[in-house]
Amino acid sequence: MRIKDNGFIVTGGASGLGLATAKLLREKGGRVGVIDLNGAGGWDGDVATADVSDEAAVEAALASLKPKVGQVRGMLNAAGGGGAGLCLGDGATLTVAGFRRGLEANALGSFIMSTAVARWMLEGEPDANGERGVLINVSSIVSMEGQLGTAGYAAGKGGINAMTLPLAREFARFGIRVMTIAPGIFETPMFNAGGDALGVMNRGLRDAVQFPARPGDPSEFAGAVAHIVENPMFNGEVLRLDGAYRVPPGEPSWWDFSKDGR
């Protein structure tokens, strides 16, 4: 699937991995529409505001972007989050509602985006290779190596992993591929957010990246997305992108936000 002159939807495209991907797809000649809960942020192109776990809001956002993007051929769903915090003992903050949000923002949101964009792809004719498009969701290596304090987040991201192959097998007859990228740690606003407690945690995580011995750059994530779009053999798989990083068990102190006034 070529990028030039084709339409793409990027969720979470106002910052971080989504923003880097939206910019690269546009640089390569794609027509890009961004959906983000927080509005345009750092993106200076076409944008719609929506929560990806809200089906009606997603449909409205896609409808508003359709005239600007044209026929869609690709999606990166980078929106997500939630479900983090201890759930037992002193300092416990993860409630049932918080756990549910981790499922909704990640697994449910990915399902809503994948099916909604796939229906849009069906409106277009297949290319010369019989392909209508590619759907790429974003998981996390935490879904495979859950760190203490990430039960809800890991469950939501794990749901994305689990649906990847079933959706790829179902959508194959329509010429639509489905992939998931599970990134390690990248230099994004989400990773660098927080006060002293998260700062201690993040320094420990940085030290565990093998090579390159640093967090990933968002441009490297965007490059992986572009390659998946252009290479039709990427289908039905969860692709780790982590510099041989493995998630440590974690420490309860990492989730003590009392010193930050939270």
Q: Among all chains, which residue has been given the structure tokens 């660098």? A: 192
The tens digit of pLDDT for each residue in 91-125 reads 899 999 999 999 999 999 999 999 999 999 999 99
Residue 120: inside a domain, yes or no? yes
Which member of 43, 120, 153, 234 is catalytic?
A: 153
> What DSSP state is assigned to residue 143?
G
The mean pLDDT of the chain is: 92
pLDDT at site 193: 56
For the stretch 163-172, contacts whose Cβ atoms lie closer than 8 Å and that sit 24 or more positions apart, written own/partner, are 163/107, 163/110, 163/111, 163/114, 164/137, 164/236, 164/237, 164/238, 165/236, 165/237, 167/114, 167/135, 168/235, 168/236, 169/236, 171/118, 171/135, 172/235
Q: What distance in Å separates the CA atoms of residue 6 and residue 56, rounded to the nearest whole number? A: 25
Alpha-carbon separation of residue 42 from 16, 67, 250 (angstroms): 9, 22, 32
Residue 202: give the domain boundaries: 7-260
Is the model's pLDDT at 192 over the cut of 70?
Answer: no
Residue 1: inside a domain, yes or no? no
Closest CA to 81 of 33, 12, 22, 145: 12
Residue 2: inside a domain, yes or no? no
The model's confidence at residue 260, banded by pLDDT at 50, 70 and 90, is very low
pLDDT at site 112: 98
Strand duo 72-77 + 31-35: pairing: unpaired
E strand map for the chain? 7-11, 31-35, 46-48, 72-77, 133-138, 176-183, 238-241
Number of domains in the chain: 1
Q: Among all chains, which residue has been given the structure tokens 């998946």? A: 228
Here the CATH number for the domain that contains residue 77 is 3.40.50.720
The model's confidence at residue 208, banded by pLDDT at 50, 70 and 90, is confident
Is 153 designated active site? Answer: yes
Residue 35: inside a domain, yes or no? yes
pTM of the predicted model as reported, rounded to 2 decimal places: 0.92
The model's confidence at residue 203, banded by pLDDT at 50, 70 and 90, is low
Contacts of 239 (CB under 8 A, 6+ apart): 179, 180, 181, 182, 224, 228
